[in-house]
Each structure stands twice: as C-alpha cells, then as structure tokens.
C-alpha cells in the first residue's frame, strides 16, 4: 500500500455528485468518491445510511437522479447489472442473487455459460472449472454439482463471492459479504478480498464490523443519512473517530 502510488494511478471508478431519491426519501446526496486499482475502500454507516443504494447505483440496479459515474475515465450508464458485468464490475449483494434450484457450477457461469461447438452446454467443463475454483478459494461445499437450495447460508455466500472474484476484472462491490458467516468463514473471505489487491482490482466493501474494516481496508468512507461525512486513510484514523463520524456524536 503506498499513498504515492494511489495519487498517480488513474482511478478505476469515479463517482461525481451522485444523487438518488426514492420518491420523497433522499437516499444519496451529492456523493463523490474515486477508487483506484488494487485499493480496498470500506463503506460504513448505520442502517438506512444509503450504503446498499450506492452499490446498486454503481452496478446498474438503480439509476441516479443526477451525477456522473466514470469507469476507466469513461462515463458509463449501466442499464442493468449484466452491462456492468460485461465491463468487469462484479457485485455480491446483501440479499443473495443465486439461482436456488440450479447447481453450484451453473450459478458460477450464470449468463456466461460455456457451450460446446454444437451449441450444447459444456457442463463437464463448467463443473471442472467450478471445482477448481472452489478448491482454490477453499469454499467448503459438498460438490460443485450441489443444488444451491441445499447449501447453508455461509456456503451460498462462499459461492457468490467465488463467482464475483472469479469474473471481476476491474471492480468488485461487496455488500456485507460476511454478515451471515462464522469466524473461520469470515477470515477466509477477508483473505480472498485482500488477495484481489494483487490482481489490481478495486474493491468497495460495505461492512458493519469495524474490526474487519480496519483489518482489510486502505480507506474508509462514512455515510450518514445519505450524506458523505468523510473519507479517511485507514492507517491514519481509529475506531473512535469512525464511530463518531457514523453516529454524529463526539
């Protein structure tokens, strides 16, 4: 991690003056943030602060009322998450988006299925690659052909994270990826997220665990009721400061 490097590298993601309201409720107010390759930024704030909304704006689930999103210095407007995906942006949502009745390997390739020359699904190859991937990432599931419905919450989350990290080329957005996980599973996910730095991928992660935020992030961005209270370098702040930024109480 080098501050100098962060300054000179071009931002992967630039959010400029993002505004989003749902009817009369302002969820995000004038939000700006840059994310650089190989950087992990934690997004923190109380329930209802607008964290999930922000991630959904970047991934194309919600369209902002105003503001600009730039990916690799090019203005983008994702019609939906599949467009964002095609540009190297992967998301792990708080409310998991897996196909419950499909096996793990089909979920891993959802929307990007491998086909054989004759046009049939190449199940063997998808199965093999999935097996390899879950082993690499140490996701403990009965098998790559297990049906999602039959997996535990932690195992499903493991599959969602494996899928996102496998396909992410530039940017990965994680909404409370470890909220439902035990201690060992959480440690594993943190290791996987930290390893994304080496692949030069930018990470925006929402977490309620300040311990986790301080373990893995380079910077911390605090939201309160849709307003960006501040951004701090993790190494130059502490939990007390972040807590008072989150709550507004000194």
Ligand X SMILES: Nc1ncnc2c1ncn2[C@@H]1O[C@H](COP(=O)(O)OP(=O)(O)O)[C@@H](O)[C@H]1O
- Taking alpha carbons only, the member of 152, 146, 174 closest to residue 161 is 174
Tokens 């949502």 correspond to what residue? 93
- Residue 65: phi and psi, rounded to 5, are -70, -35
Q: What is the smallest separation between the CB atom of 49 and Mg ion, expressed in angstroms?
A: 8
Q: What is the smallest separation between the CB atom of 2 and ligand X, expressed in angstroms?
A: 30
Residue from 2, 17, 22, 233 binding ligand X (CB under 6 A): 22
Q: What is the smallest separation between the CB atom of 205 and Mg ion, expressed in angstroms?
A: 12
Q: Please give the residues from 51 up to 110 whose contact with ligand X meets the rule CB under 6 A.
A: 51-53
| 64 contact choice in Mg ion, ligand X, none (CB below 5 to 8 Å, kind-dependent) | none
Contact characters 35-54, Mg ion, x per CB under 5 A: -----------------x--
Question: Which residue sits closest to Mg ion, CB atoms considered?
Answer: 52
Contacts of residue 148, Cβ cutoff 8 Å, sequence gap at least 6: 98, 99, 100, 101, 102, 103, 104, 107, 156, 159
**DSSP-assigned beta bridge partners for residue 227:** 29, 224
- Taking alpha carbons only, the member of 125, 128, 142, 20 closest to residue 69 is 20
CA 156/CA 198 separation, integer angstroms: 25
Q: What is the smallest separation between the CB atom of 45 and Mg ion, expressed in angstroms?
A: 9
Under the criterion CB under 6 A, does residue 47 sit at the interface with ligand X? yes
Under the criterion CB under 6 A, does residue 121 sit at the interface with ligand X? no
| 59 contact choice in ligand X, Mg ion, none (CB below 5 to 8 Å, kind-dependent) | none
Task: Give the footprint of Mg ion on this chain (CB under 5 A).
Answer: 52
């Amino acid at each position: 991690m080098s501050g100098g490097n962060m300054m000179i590298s071009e931002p992967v993601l630039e959010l400029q003056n993002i505004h989003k309201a749902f009817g009369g409720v302002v969820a995000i107010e004038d939000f700006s943030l840059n994310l650089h390759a190989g950087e992990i930024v934690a997004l923190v704030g109380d329930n209802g602060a607008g964290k999930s909304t922000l991630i959904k704006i970047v991934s194309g689930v919600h369209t902002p009322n105003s503001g600009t999103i730039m990916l690799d210095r090019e203005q983008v407007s994702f019609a939906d998450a599949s467009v964002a995906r095609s540009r190297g942006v992967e998301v792990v949502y708080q409310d998991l988006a897996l196909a419950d009745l499909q096996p793990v390997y089909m979920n891993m390739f959802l929307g990007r299925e491998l086909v054989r020359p004759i046009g049939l699904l190449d199940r063997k190859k998808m199965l093999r690659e999935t097996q390899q991937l879950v082993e690499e990432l140490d996701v403990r599931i009965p098998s790559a052909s297990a049906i999602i419905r039959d997996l535990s919450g932690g195992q499903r989350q493991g599959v969602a994270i494996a899928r996102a990290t496998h396909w992410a080329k530039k940017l990965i957005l994680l909404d409370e990826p470890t909220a439902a996980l035990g201690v060992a599973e959480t440690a594993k996910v943190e290791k996987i997220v930290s390893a994304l730095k080496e692949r030069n991928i930018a990470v925006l992660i929402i977490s309620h665990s300040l311990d986790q935020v301080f373990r893995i992030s380079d910077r911390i961005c605090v939201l309160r009721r849709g307003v960006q209270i501040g951004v701090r370098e993790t190494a130059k702040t502490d939990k007390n400061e972040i807590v008072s930024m989150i709550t507004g109480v000194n």
